[in-house]
Structure 1
Amino acid sequence: MPNASMHHVVNLTDISLRAAKRCCVAGATEAAEGACFDAELHLHFDQICVRASEPSGTSAALLHCCTLDQVEARDRCLAGLPRSHDGDLEVAGVGAGSKPPPPQAPPEFKGDICKEHAEENARLYDWLVWEFSLRYPLTSLSLPVMLAGGYITGVTTCCLVEQEHTACLAALDEEFKNKVAHKIFKAKKQCQLLKSMEKHDFQDMILVVVSQQSPSLSVDESKRIALRVENSTRNCCLKHADGFCLYTKSAIHDEICLDKGILSHHPRLAQCCRSLGSPRLRCSQGVTEKFHSILDTSSLLSLEEQCRFSHDQPEEMHD
């Protein structure tokens, strides 16, 4: 297991344990615990910005995040920055146009991956999530989680079911290289689609998907999520033309889960947001109660446009 990735996993573990000791108090309400964990995360980012204020060649990207007025916007901006080899946010030397590493399966382990799987499965999973997140820094959180979960499932089969572990693991690596390469291809198609469409047309297309995925959202809430998806995808396509800019249905639910205003009005969605990856997607898709007026796309799009966007949604949005 590479020292770089494990170092970061250990750092995250230390932060989480510190937060758990402070926040998991007997008798505390769920809301109080959640607020405490949020405060711990804000404190962690506060410390990063204090370091960034020192005259040490701080990157423009990091300075930009730390100068944002709203704490939530700052934390979200910092969470999306590239990491250094030791897993920390790079305080210096990060160019705005830095590119993610090329697509590939997780690197080979120096030790016995089946032994690692048997003895430290949770740590192996956390490391895989970090590795995928590091390679694709501008994608949604659910996608690295899904990739890590799929890889762990393959490792489990190879180590516990198949007799030839080495051959099975080699085939798994090749399968993942092909799977990730396919997602990269779809991401490039999505960037081409975005560039070929007018800004409002792309937003309308995303808006239809948002209304289908989360019918309980109000018109304004759906528009807000669609705008975020459009902006994030556009920024990714501009900065990382060969990067991992794929926005799927999972990404839409990730954006919803980052909006505390929406979650405060939709408690069942808030429950879904406690999970990640496929479980979050399945849970969120099942939330259909209507707290506000439902998005009526007929007031926004012509019948012809509705049919076209609903029928011809790009393959990239069907994951």
Structure 2
Amino acid sequence: MDRIIKSHRGIYYVEQNNKVILCKARGVFRDRDIKPIVGDLVDISINDDGTGYIEKVYERKNQLLRPPLANIDQVIIIMSLKDPKINLNLLDKYILMLEKSNLEIKIIFNKVDLVKDKDMEYISSIYANIGYDIYFNSNVKESNLSLDRLFEDKITAVVGPSGVGKSTTLNKIFSNFNFDTGEISVKNKKGKHTTRHIEMSKLSNNSYIIDTPGFSSLSLEFIDERNDIKDNFIEFRKYANKCKYNDCYHINEPVCGVKLALEEKIIAKERYENYKQILNEYDKIRRF
């Protein structure tokens, strides 16, 4: 089996024995409504001119919707605490999508040099307490934090909003690579869009990294059922069995274990409010 490490305008770059073969997909995939994506394991045939055709796409162990990626081991979300100010609703949407895809999640919070310790403690009280691996990073200060170990022997997708320092962080960790970077516009505080295609960079025989385009919003197209939302706020699970009703959505129902945990400050208010907003957004979409 070989692996698609890049795709661009219908051309698939397939790694085979440490060489990259430029391939097209057979028409049969279009007939079957199968579109190969980066990360897919494939069989290829090679033409006389050295190019190839994808003959088979193997079943995916997982798939990320945005951006479209397959067979990855973990996703590292990079957010900034300031410039741009962290958007917890957007972060929780992304976590929701990754939980639904059963992907391992790590979170790096950037630009800690611009905030106070209490700001880091606030973030930690929400996400570390849930059980997520979180890391605080500065790209302008020296740090003893060895972020490179997070990528060892894994296929890692790195995601984050525009302007949070995602590519700058990767360039600092892996100085032998050159990930595209963009400055923040002072006028609108938005990052310039820099990453234009999806490509896997090989760190070692067993380690790959995928830098993805920055995002500023995330639609809920990845949600199939309303239950997906409450089921993938993972801190709710422990307390949902104390709800009176099995189909409790933890909003207006009586005798709700999640709302009780919220009152006791076991569940973070910020997460619960974002949950309600996401649920409300989903309901509005489904009305039309």
TM-score (norm 1): 0.22
Higher strand share: 2
Structure scoring higher RCO (CA < 8 A, sep ≥ 6) equals 1
